[in-house]
């Protein structure tokens, strides 16, 4: 977990998804978009290996608040969002 925020990491084989609860607006884009990966009734609630990494990345990019981010570990398109200098 990142000490400056409450961002948590969920590592999959091809993609790592991170989630910052304090930013989440509960728009449910993630849960509606890919319920096999994002399921708030389950622990852990994010299972990055539940779908193809490309689909996971697509749904993460739809998150309106920036609560969800991802980094591809298989050389696919990413990370999201593109890092700025302040975040390095
Ligand atoms: S899409 Fe983003 S803002 Fe909406 S519920 Fe999921 S994490 Fe929260």
Share of the chain above pLDDT 90, in %: 75
Higher pLDDT, 77 or 16: 16
In the reported structure, the alpha carbon of residue 63 is separated from the centroid of ligand 1 by a whole-number distance in angstroms of 5
Residues 6+ apart with CB under 8 A from 31: 38, 39, 40
Mean pLDDT value across the chain: 90
Nearest-CA residue for ligand 1 atom 4 is 27
User: In degrees to the nearest 10, what's the CA dihedral of 78, 53, 46, 87?
Assistant: -10
Give the model confidence (pLDDT) of 23-65 as tens digits. 999 989 999 999 999 999 999 999 999 999 999 999 999 999 9
Q: Report whether residue 65 contacts ligand 1, using a CB cutoff of 6 Å.
A: yes
CA–CA dist 18, 69 (Å, integer): 5
Domains of the chain: 7-80 (3.30.70.20)
In the reported structure, the alpha carbon of residue 2 is separated from the centroid of ligand 1 by a whole-number distance in angstroms of 19
Higher pLDDT, 82 or 73: 73
Element (H, E) at 4: none
């Amino acid at each position: 977990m990142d000490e400056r925020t409450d961002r948590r990491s969920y590592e999959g084989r091809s993609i790592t998804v991170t989630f910052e609860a304090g930013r989440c607006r509960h728009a449910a884009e993630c849960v509606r978009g890919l319920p096999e990966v994002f399921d708030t009734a389950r622990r852990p609630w994010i299972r990055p290996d539940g779908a193809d990494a490309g689909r996971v990345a697509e749904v993460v990019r739809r998150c309106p608040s920036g609560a969800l981010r991802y980094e591809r570990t298989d050389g696919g398109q990413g990370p999201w969002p593109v890092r700025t200098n302040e975040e390095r």
